[in-house]
Chain A
């Protein structure tokens, strides 16, 4: 029995653990070492250069521009997405008073809002590239021009392009969080809303005094997910923008710089150093988010 048990455990774990070690753990472990070498496409034997890549990285303006864009997205994307999603989730559930059923047509709204989530980011990027076209063939610029305004260079104006990226990211993410928060609101006991309403609480008070505190755990999880997604933005920028992060680096992000450095410039050591920086940003953000948002859990 015991012998068979050990054989069973080993047999079941062998393939998944082997695959995971070969394709996930080994590359991550190697990346930290490669970051300390001068490995380029042409060098057959990369030499160990210590922290040289990181020293160069600190003086690399383009990379820090990318970091700045990631940090801007890290702050704004979760803020906007969570804010808009909370607003709609609250409306859909009539502030929780509607119980699980919600307002009339709430299921329809949820189905529509969620749909962008199932589309590939690459597909969404191409779609919005057309929506954002700079002349009257663009979905957004056509009415602007018809009304006599100057067309907006959604992707060609260096001051606007990053906001277009942010818009697309929020457009795709909101539905998921509406559904997530709706489920959370629906699980809050109705008595709480009834009691508060009888005590004379208005819509805004219900939201800030009851919905928000009781939904805090779910919001926190959403915040961490969105923050990590903001640090990992790649496909929208790479596919949608001119020069993969342009114009003039105005939309570039860390992931795009890593990919470009590794697979277009073939500077593997330098790209890995960028990857290590991204890694520490991710870990740092997750640790910080969990620390800051820790507060007493309310049982209900």
Chain B
């Protein structure tokens, strides 16, 4: 009897473990479902409230709307200018991320693959920016941008309350992470292809744009996602730099402002519609690109 119990096979042991996992497995899913509910319910509740009437919003929070008030969405889009703010955000982020990726990858490439005097110093200068809290720079930054606005010719385009001015600031503040991440990436790329191209007479610029940049694609994609989300969600910088011209505001400013203004104007249903409008595009984009987004955002922490 005892002898039969000793030579248990691995398969048997595994089988037994799986059986033991039974109640444990149920508890696992229970715990996971609790957090799923915590994440989904506030968001779903917001979408539901966005089609409620004013009275329903002030009534019981868990009641269902009697009719779908889609005019809330129309009011939020037009009267609360969410449409305008969203377009502003798209414009700023499009130019901001394009500029960040162009200049960031150029700097990272040169710093990663060329030896010259001052290379290390410039690299450290960029990377040190990762450690500084942006709040320290806010006041002087405000005056730097204001002074840029007094420059001849270009001044009116890049001063306070201009989108181009904000774009330049976004690019500058996105450079530390972009350069840090991409320089590490460019260093891992093999040099053989580039050398062959040099032998064939290609210029440095051409090798960068036609060979090295395409080879660095996975890294570029990750950092692009990181920067799109970072710049799209930025609130502090536009609050300081676009403060006095409402028509220039970006989406985060618009949403935050309705919530403080709603106390007086009291268009609560439009507030919920505006919130939903800000969440919806993120939901769609995230559903489509979720695995790239997860990889892109966590890649920085794993380096």
* Residues of A near any B CB (own CB < 8 A): 4-6, 8-9, 11-13, 15-17, 19-20, 22-28, 30-31, 34, 84, 87-88, 91-92, 94, 103-105, 109-123, 125-131, 133, 136-139, 141-143, 146, 171, 174-176, 179-180, 183, 197-198, 203, 218, 221-222, 225, 231-232, 234-235, 238-239, 254-255, 258-259, 262-263, 268, 271-272, 275-276, 278-279, 282-283, 286
Chain A residues lying within 8 Å of B252, measured Cβ to Cβ, are: 120, 122-123, 235
| A121-B233 in contact (CB<8A) | yes
Chain B residues lying within 8 Å of A238, measured Cβ to Cβ, are: 256
| A24-B137 in contact (CB<8A) | yes
Mostly, the B contact residues are helix
Chain A residues lying within 8 Å of B290, measured Cβ to Cβ, are: 111, 114
Q: Which 4 residue pairs spanning A and B have beta carbons closest together?
A: A23-B172, A275-B136, A120-B233, A27-B140
Interface size for B (C-beta < 8 A) is 100
- B264 located at the interface, meaning its Cβ lies under 8 Å from any Cβ of chain A in the complex: no
The answer to whether residues A115 and B136 also contact, given A13-B122, A20-B172 and a CB cut-off of 8 A, is no
- B131 located at the interface, meaning its Cβ lies under 8 Å from any Cβ of chain A in the complex: yes
Chain B residues lying within 8 Å of A239, measured Cβ to Cβ, are: 235, 256, 259-260
A13, A111, A133: residue with the most chain B Cβ atoms closer than 10 Å: A13
| B138-A28 in contact (CB<8A) | no
| B139-A271 in contact (CB<8A) | yes
Task: Determine how close the nearest CB of chain B comes to the CB of A39; give it in whole angstroms.
Answer: 9
- Which residues in chain B, 27-42, are within 8 Å of chain A measured between CB atoms? 28-29, 31-32, 35-36, 38-42
- B266 located at the interface, meaning its Cβ lies under 8 Å from any Cβ of chain A in the complex: no
Task: Determine how close the nearest CB of chain B comes to the CB of A196; give it in whole angstroms.
Answer: 12
Chain A residues lying within 8 Å of B302, measured Cβ to Cβ, are: 180, 183, 218, 221
Task: Determine how close the nearest CB of chain A comes to the CB of B90; give it in whole angstroms.
Answer: 14
Query: Chain B, 289-303, contact with A by CB distance < 8 Å: what is the 0/1 string?
Result: 010011001100110
- Which residues in chain B, 265-286, are within 8 Å of chain A measured between CB atoms? 271-272, 275, 278-279, 282-283, 285-286
| A119-B36 in contact (CB<8A) | no
The answer to whether residues A174 and B138 also contact, given A103-B28, A122-B235 and a CB cut-off of 8 A, is no
Determine the distance from Cα of A100 to Cα of B29 in the docked complex, in whole angstroms: 18
Determine the distance from Cα of A262 to Cα of B141 in the docked complex, in whole angstroms: 12
Chain A residues lying within 8 Å of B235, measured Cβ to Cβ, are: 120-122, 234-235, 239
Chain B residues lying within 8 Å of A104, measured Cβ to Cβ, are: 29
Determine the distance from Cα of A232 to Cα of B29 in the docked complex, in whole angstroms: 34
Chain B residues lying within 8 Å of A8, measured Cβ to Cβ, are: 110, 203-205
Chain A residues lying within 8 Å of B41, measured Cβ to Cβ, are: 139
Task: Determine how close the nearest CB of chain B comes to the CB of A198; give it in whole angstroms.
Answer: 6
- B221 located at the interface, meaning its Cβ lies under 8 Å from any Cβ of chain A in the complex: no
Task: Determine how close the nearest CB of chain A comes to the CB of B303; give it in whole angstroms.
Answer: 9
| A19-B172 in contact (CB<8A) | yes
| A125-B106 in contact (CB<8A) | no
The answer to whether residues A126 and B107 also contact, given A26-B144, A118-B286 and a CB cut-off of 8 A, is no
- B87 located at the interface, meaning its Cβ lies under 8 Å from any Cβ of chain A in the complex: no
Determine the distance from Cα of A67 to Cα of B180 in the docked complex, in whole angstroms: 30
| B144-A22 in contact (CB<8A) | yes
| B135-A255 in contact (CB<8A) | yes
Chain A residues lying within 8 Å of B132, measured Cβ to Cβ, are: 24, 28, 279, 282
User: 28 interchain pairs (CB within 8 A)?
Assistant: A8-B203, A19-B168, A20-B125, A23-B141, A24-B173, A27-B137, A28-B137, A109-B36, A113-B35, A118-B282, A120-B233, A123-B278, A125-B256, A125-B259, A126-B258, A127-B43, A127-B279, A130-B275, A137-B60, A139-B45, A234-B135, A235-B235, A254-B135, A258-B138, A259-B138, A272-B139, A282-B131, A283-B131
- B229 located at the interface, meaning its Cβ lies under 8 Å from any Cβ of chain A in the complex: yes
- B76 located at the interface, meaning its Cβ lies under 8 Å from any Cβ of chain A in the complex: no
